[in-house]
Chain A
Amino acid sequence: MTLIALLWCIAAWLGLSVFAVVVARTAIVGTIVYAACLAIGMLGLSAGLEHLIAATAPAETIILPLGLPWLGANFRLDNLSAFFVLVVDLGAATASLYALGYGRHESEQHRVLPFYPAFLAAMNLVVLADDAFTFLVSWELMSLVSWALVVAHHHDRENIRAGYVYLLMASFGTVALLLAFGLLAGPEGSYAFAELRLHPPSETLAAAVLALTIVGTGSKAGLIPLHVWLPLAHPAAPSHVSALMSGVMTKVAVYAFIRIVFTFLGPPQWWWALPVLIAGAASAVIGVLYALNQSDLKKLLAYSTIDNIGVIFIGLGLALAFQTNALGAAAALAMAAALLHVFNHALFKSLLFFGAGAVLTSTGERNLERLGGLIHTMPVTAFLFLLASMAICALPPLNGFVSEWLTFQAVLISPQLPQWSLRLIVPAVGAMLALAAALTAACFVKAFGFAFLGRPRSDVAKRAVETDTFSLAGMFSLGALCLFIGILPGFVIDRLAPVTQFLLSARLPVQADVPWLSIIPISEGRSSYNGLLVFLFILISSLGAVLVIHTFASRKVRRSAAWDCGFPDPRPVTQYSADSFVQPLRRVYGTLVFLAREKVQMPTPGEMSPARFTVTMQDLAWRLIYSPIVHAVEFSAERLNVLQFMTIRRYLALVFSALIFLLIVLASWT
């Protein structure tokens, strides 16, 4: 029943797309489309939630007479897909709510509206697909529709380039997945997932499928070094779509990874965890280092998505490592941490993008160097943005802390692993994770501090006004969820149990039985966390501190001429700038990772020109991987140009020699 409801939701979204194509240019249609998307999203959300809460609900399957005639379009709702339906539709509902307000400021409405519902439908389709054909078609639909949304503002040359790079990388990823499914299906060509589950491939074949899956899903999720398109494409789309792409679409890629690796490949080999862990750790650290060096707010958020995907993949890698060694409870812990982080990241990354969108509509600026002081003009947005920043920095009592804490708990079990290489590498990965968490904190101090604190750095920042009610409602619902999960994590962890049960046949201890609303991932003697207690402690101690300060410290209000405090020049340019903030970190890490070089040009004495300070940075992934490929393609294309201008006789000679060559091959074939 639930599956049928979900399929009707998808059909309704697709119908809405067609409707929007027809009437996209009328003013009211934006409100209609987003309101309908919101309603359908809520419906899908409740359907997914219902299946997940009814923990023993059996998997539902439906075969529709579409697609390949001998296969049909298979759909299936099991615990894993129900969880991801929940993530996708929660994102869809809040983004639609936000867009009810945000969409009114959209200048290219007719380029956004027709694709938006189709994008939501495609993500749902991927999660529900139960055969390789339906899966790949939905996957491509998702890529294409999101591409259309990326290039919605196509007058901007940057966006066109972003769309081009995105399209190339998306096709590359799909080819990898296509080959992976081809290998899985084998010579009989059994593409239904039900059959793939029953016949796991041989050991070498499974390794090849694993490699292709990491490449295929990693290119969508943004694993380094397949991330190059992500920081270009995500910020280029309208903000509610950016939120969906960053918060939700990358999670669909994570779903594809889990689906293929954990349910089709049979029992894992111990070394499978290695590439996943290494890719995850590299993405976590390098992603956040990139983010730190951005002064474009939306780009910063996009890079931080790479970081969080890295955290998720670390959890998945740990789950693989524990599962190989039959450490069921530990595997369930790592998997639950990864899944919870999937959910959390969808929440706070969407919220952050909504906040960036609110700032963008209010000021027209994404550059941190031209923002500032918005906490006075946009107080609610500032508060919610701060909340999400704290969540992404993994500060208690918010949700980000819970999932990263669980991941660390899983890291700490690693001495139980029998393989030495894993025992050595997992603590290193843990250290990288800690480094990434610390750098994330620095990154969001920068994002929040320079956008909302200080004095306005430009006139537009000074004239900013608070955003509209719908946008605030969308952001508020996400913020409330962040806080709720942070305070009562046990409730959510129990809801994840059916998923880990389905994937690993193991689960975490039931958290509802733990007194005082604590969570205990392994055993009471080992570790426990109580979000509510931390929340109450922070609340009471900070209220107390405020009370004390205001009654005793600032009782005597003195008014006097401001001591300039090294601030004699009232112009805002004298403030500490976002770029200055990251300079120390850039000097420590950037010199190695980005080949960052700083150059100071001092004018000679007597010269009137200003001194100049320039920083150059390089993306090593571009330099070492992508540029050589581009050069090779260009070189061969240049060489093959000759083929275009030949005489008829030479063309015939070409055909003739090809024929002779093939005949010789045929003759010498034994």
Chain B
Amino acid sequence: MRHDLFFDVAHLLAGGLVLMSFLMLYQDRLYALINVFAGHAIVLTLSVAWQAYVQDAPHLYVTAFIALGFKAIIIPIALHRIVERLGIHREIETVLNIGLTMLGGIGLVALSVVVMLRVAPGGDPLAREDLAFALSVVLLGLLMMVSRRNAVSQVIGFMSLENGLILAATGAKGMPLVVEISVAFSVLIAFIVIGIFLFRIRERFDTVDIQALDSFRGEIE
């Protein structure tokens, strides 16, 4: 009985993360997107913490704490400030319309579930479901990066992709803490680099729409 409960809660939290990804895809305002991203990180924190409890692996609490600290608090606040300081146009320009993007996202989730069922038929169901959701989160993050023109939303897409990776990593038992911490730090550094990059774009081109970069290279779409 107890095992069923573990499985159901983990399933619920991972599914929640996928749902949050869809919520992010749906947003067309920057502030709202950042807030949903913070929510995304909180769900991730809960999921990791639950895995730590289930697997009785105290080092996963550290991972959860890092996720909460960086992803749910520091990065959203920093992004808010960037948006404010740069006075970015707060509407998100999409390449495809949002409905189609959502439909594509549903397709991706279906694809990742099918792939996972095919690839690991004999695996531990808990890990397998977790991996299917993690793969969906990664693919949705990529879809977000591909379908948005705005640099800030691309950054957020990247961060949510990384959340998917953490979910996958914690689902697999025996992932060393060092690896998780280094992944977390590399994401932080990527965030800093991209942040500086944003400021530079802003200084040069007076906009963070990455189309400006393309037009600077002489290749207006």
- Chain A residues proximal to chain B, CB less than 8 Å: 645, 647-649, 652-653, 655-656, 659-660, 663-664, 666-667, 669
**Residue contact A649 to B118, C-beta cutoff 8 Å:** no
Q: Are A652 and B108 also in contact (CB < 8 A) when A645-B219, A666-B119 are?
A: no
Q: Is the CB of B108 within 8 A of A647?
A: no
Note all chain A residues with C-beta closer than 8 A to B154. 649
- Of the candidate stretches B59-67, B139-147, B175-183, B185-193, the one touching chain A is B139-147
B202 within 8 A of partner (CB)? no
Within 8 Å of chain A (Cβ to Cβ): is B124?
no
Stretch from B29-37, B44-52, B109-117 that touches the partner: B109-117
Q: Provide the bound-state CA to CA distance between A454 and B221, in Å.
A: 73
B 119-155 to A, binary, CB cutoff 8 A, 1 in contact else 0: 1000000000000000000010011011001000010
Pairs across A and B, CB under 8 Å, 15 listed: A645-B217, A647-B213, A647-B221, A648-B213, A649-B145, A649-B146, A649-B210, A652-B142, A652-B145, A656-B145, A656-B146, A660-B111, A666-B119, A667-B114, A669-B118
Contact indicator B115/A663 (Cβ below 8 Å): yes
Interface string of B51-78 (1 = CB under 8 A from A): 0000000000000000000000000000
A647 lies within 8 A of B118 (CB): no
A148 to B: closest C-beta gap in Å: 41
Contact A667 B118 (CB under 8 A): yes
Q: B214 an interface residue at 8 Å Cβ cutoff?
A: yes
CA of A652 to CA of B213, assembled, Å: 15
Residues of A within 8 A of B112 (CB): 663
Residue of B nearest to A657 (CB): B146
Given the complex, which residues of B lie within 8 Å of A652, measured CB to CB? 142, 145-146
- B115 touches which one: A653, A655, A656, A666 (CB < 8 A)? A666
B55 to chain A minimum Cβ distance, whole angstroms, is 27
- CB neighbours (8 Å) of B139 from chain A are 659-660
Point out the residues of chain B lying under 8 angstroms from A649, CB to CB: 95, 145-146, 149, 154, 210
What residues of A have a CB within 8 angstroms of the CB of B219 in the complex? 645, 647
Q: Which residue of A lies closest to B151 (CB)?
A: A648
* Closest Cβ neighbor of B149 among chain A residues: A649
- A-B contact sample (19 more), CB < 8 A, given A647-B219, A647-B221, A659-B142: A645-B219, A647-B210, A648-B210, A648-B213, A649-B95, A649-B145, A649-B146, A649-B149, A649-B154, A652-B142, A652-B146, A653-B146, A660-B111, A660-B139, A663-B111, A663-B115, A667-B115, A667-B118, A669-B118
| A-B contacts at CB below 8 angstroms, number | 41
**Chain B 197-221: CB-based contact to A (< 8 A → 1; otherwise 0):** 0000000000000100110010101
CA distance A655 to B213 in the complex (A): 20
Closest-by-CB residue of A relative to B95 is A649
| CB <8 Å contact, B210 and A656 | no
- CB closest residue in chain A, given B138: A659
> Which residues on A sit within 8 Å (CB–CB) of B146?
649, 652-653, 656
Tell me the complex Cα distance, A351–B152, Å.
76
Nearest Cβ in chain B — how far from A580, in angstroms? 60
- From B104, which residue of chain A is reached at the shortest CB distance? A660
Across-interface contacts of B143 in A (CB, < 8 A): 656
Complexed CA–CA distance, A663 and B115 (Å): 7
Least CB distance from A662 to B in Å reads 10
Bitwise, B86-117 to A at CB < 8 A (1) or not (0) is 00000000010000000000001001101100
The residue in chain B whose Cβ has the minimal distance to the Cβ of A663 is B115
In the assembled complex, which residues on chain A have CB atoms less than 8 Å from the CB atom of B95?
Answer: 649
Question: Looking across the interface, which residue of chain A has its beta carbon closest to that of B107?
Answer: A660
Given that A647-B221, A649-B149 are known contacts, is A667 also in contact with B142, CB under 8 Å in the complex? no
Pair B142/A647 contact, Cβ less than 8 Å: no
Q: Which residue of B lies closest to A645 (CB)?
A: B219
Q: Which residues of B contact A659 (CB under 8 A)?
A: 139, 142
Least distance between A652 CB and chain B CB atoms (Å): 5
**Which residues of chain B are near A667, meaning CB under 8 Å?**
111, 114-115, 118
CB proximity of B25 to chain A, nearest CB, Å: 14
Q: Please, how many angstroms separate the alpha-carbon atoms of A667 and B108 in the complex?
A: 12
Residues of A within 8 A of B118 (CB): 666-667, 669
| Whole-angstrom CA separation of A581 from B221 in the bound complex | 65
Most chain A CB within 10 A, of B143, B146, B154, B214, is at B146
> Shortest beta-carbon distance, A670 to chain B, in Å?
9
List, in ascending order, chain B residues with CB within 8 A of A666's CB: 115, 118-119
Q: What is the bound-complex CA distance between A660 and B140, given in angstroms?
A: 11
When distances are taken between beta carbons in the complex, the residues of chain A under 8 Å from B149 are 649
Chain A contacts for B142, CB-based, 8 A: 652, 655-656, 659
Name the B residues within 8 Å of A645 (CB-CB): 217, 219
- Per CB-CB distance, the 6 closest pairs between chain A and chain B, nearest first, are A667-B114, A653-B146, A667-B115, A647-B214, A656-B142, A656-B146
Smallest CB gap from A651: residue in B: B146
Chain A nearest CB from B6 CB (Å) reads: 28
- For residue A662, which residue of chain B has the nearest CB? B115
In the complex, A667→B112 CA distance in Å? 9
Cα(A476)–Cα(B152), bound, Å? 83
Which chain A residue lies CB-closest to B135?
Answer: A663
Q: Provide the bound-state CA to CA distance between A408 and B213, in Å.
A: 75
Q: Which residues of B contact A647 (CB under 8 A)?
A: 210, 213-214, 219, 221
